[in-house]
Amino acid sequence: MPINLFEYEELAKKQLSQMAFDYYSSGAWDELTLRDNRVAFERMKLKPRVLIDVSDRNLSTSILGQSLQSPLLTAPMAFQCLAHEEGEIATARAAKKAGVGMTLSTMSTKSIEEVATQGNYSDINSSSNNSNNTPRWFQLYIHKDRDLTSNLVKRAYAAGYNALCLTVDAPVLGQRERDRRNEFTLPAGLNLANLASISDLEIPTEHGESGLLLYFAQQLDPAITWKDLAWLRSLSPLPLIVKGILRGDDALRAVEYGAKAIIVSNHGGRQLDGAIASFDALPEVITAVDGQVPILVDGGIRRGVDILKALALGASGVLIGRPILWGLAVGGEAGVTHVLDILRNELSVAMALCGCSRIQDIDLSLVR
């Protein structure tokens, strides 16, 4: 049994095909940002408090009015059935069991409705009291076909998702050379589950190229601007979260255009190589927004102590990406559950060693 997330990655590499592992693990170009996402957490040092009663620790919190047993959500990750036949459904069940949130990708291999039903979320928006439900968010890419995009939003709302998470750092797809070398495409039997009932869209194939890159070029809209946020907000009552912010001025602009939360993210190092690490970008965004909306962060989180560092800088929570896929590949739902348990237990220990009995006790004085 793996005892940390790094061991899960090593086991997952043995379970997955070369194409699947490279798709999940790769970054853009020379993968500088991919590596720096991890190193950024290692650079930050802690200044623990001592002689504080930490015998009873409470990791619970809330984001956008939704309760979490620990300040975690799973990040939106495409094509999870490459890792396990239950894919996003297994991830949803594990997240629900752990009391953490999940973000479903537009590019998922299980549909909006399937994931909502399996997670018992299909009746949330019709309920008069949903405060005890953990978050279920839907991540959106805006397609050139605006009717298709509108349909996705309306389906997510009807299925009981709690928020719409717009990814804004991918007007075009980053150059992922491992995918290009592997000529990445979905194997037979897998498809874009959220798009199958709307269109015959598939991941295209072309010799010497990544099928995902071709899909983005053909289908996603590189012309979206800030004004499109108003259009998205008009499609449903769901709060809008903007994911992919690395600058304070962009964060402030997102709030001005109606974002209810911001995710500081460089897309796991998969878009612009050389971009600042998400963790390094966090302080500027926190300062600019000045408490107006919750700020979350993803990218490079592999230990519970990393979560503590992000919270110390002012984040309300974190999103976990690749380690969820490693857990899924190794053990399906049980593997994801174990990954989340490892992070929760490590965060609890880190809190105790820093003199924090509650999430609210974690502050800037703990880091240098």
Q: Does residue 5 carry a pLDDT above 90?
A: yes
Q: Give the per-residue pLDDT at 205.
A: 63
Calpha distance 34→77 (Å, rounded): 16
Q: Give the per-residue pLDDT at 211.
A: 67
Q: Which residues pair with 245 in a beta bridge?
A: 264
| Radius of gyration (C-alpha) of the chain in whole angstroms | 19
Q: Give the per-residue pLDDT at 250.
A: 99
Q: Does residue 293 carry a pLDDT above 60?
A: yes
Q: Does residue 122 carry a pLDDT above 60?
A: no
**% of the chain at pLDDT higher than 70:** 92
* Residues 213-272: tens digit of each pLDDT: 677 778 889 999 999 999 999 999 999 999 999 999 999 999 999 999 999 999 999 999
Does the active-site annotation cover 143?
A: no
Calpha distance 72→99 (Å, rounded): 9
Residues 6+ apart with CB under 8 A from 146: none
* Residues 300-335: tens digit of each pLDDT: 999 999 999 999 999 999 999 999 999 999 999 999
* Residues 24-33: tens digit of each pLDDT: 999 999 999 9
Note the residue count of the chain. Answer: 368
Q: Does residue 275 carry a pLDDT above 60?
A: yes
Q: Give the per-residue pLDDT at 204.
A: 67
Tell how strand 136-140 and strand 101-104 pair up. Answer: parallel
Q: Give the per-residue pLDDT at 71.
A: 98
Q: Catalytic pick from 84, 143, 267, 338?
A: 267
Q: Give the per-residue pLDDT at 124.
A: 43
Q: What is the mean pLDDT of the chain?
A: 93
Please report which confidence band the pLDDT of residue 129 belongs to, taking 50, 70 and 90 as the band edges.
Answer: very low
Q: Give the per-residue pLDDT at 218.
A: 85
**% of the chain at pLDDT higher than 90:** 85
Binding residues for FMN: 76-78, 105, 139, 243, 265, 298-302, 321-322
Calpha distance 276→322 (Å, rounded): 19
Asked if 111 contacts 194 with a C-beta cutoff of 8 angstroms, the reply is: yes
Please report which confidence band the pLDDT of residue 353 belongs to, taking 50, 70 and 90 as the band edges.
Answer: very high
Q: What is the pTM of this model?
A: 0.95
Residues 6+ apart with CB under 8 A from 150: 235
Cβ neighbours around 78 below 10 Å, total: 18
Q: Give the per-residue pLDDT at 77.
A: 98
Q: Give the per-residue pLDDT at 216.
A: 79
Domains of the chain: 5-366 (3.20.20.70)
Binding residues for glyoxylate: 23, 141, 167, 176, 267, 270
Higher pLDDT, 195 or 81: 81
* Residues 186-199: tens digit of each pLDDT: 898 988 999 875 44
Please report which confidence band the pLDDT of residue 123 belongs to, taking 50, 70 and 90 as the band edges.
Answer: very low
Angle between helices 18-25 and 5-15 (to 10 degrees): 150
